[in-house]
Amino acid sequence: MALDVANAEKALRKERKNLVHQLDELGAAESGDLKTDLDFGGGFADAAAVTAERTEILGLVESLKHQLDDVDAALAHIKAGTYGTCDNCGKEIGAARMEFRPVSVLCVDCKSKVSP
């Protein structure tokens, strides 16, 4: 099974657009920085609830930003002509892995060495 880079790029660009949209809905820029301070209005009676809500939103923003960074790295690999090549050992990452996880930068062997 050959790696379909054109299809992968199309899917990655679509995923990038989706992630940017989700960040925007949470009030964050592509950088992960909040565009404005979060306003929870007068509906939150106690500071603990506001803090919990803010912490949850910041966690979501951080997760989305990490995903966006992975997508951007994959798109940079496509542009550089190195998409599908392991960053660690330089071997080809299997097409099945790239299809399953298009943002992969490590082959299965190298990934298993760095993951607990």
pTM metric for this prediction: 0.82
55, two tokens: 């912490």
pLDDT in tens, 21-37: 999 998 888 888 887 76
Cβ contacts of residue 96 below 8 Å, gap of 6+? 1
Containing structural domain, residue 88: 5-114
Name the domain count of the chain.
1
**DSSP-assigned beta bridge partners for residue 28:** 34
pLDDT exceeds cutoff 80 at 45: no
46 has a pLDDT exceeding 80: no
Find the CATH number of the domain harbouring 74. Answer: 1.20.120.910
Cα dist. 81→1, 5, 15, 88, 99 in Å? 19, 10, 20, 16, 17
Q: What is the pLDDT of residues 48-80, one digit of tens each?
A: 777 777 788 889 999 999 999 999 999 999 999
H or E element: which one contains 1?
A: none
Please give the single-letter amino acid code of residue 7: N
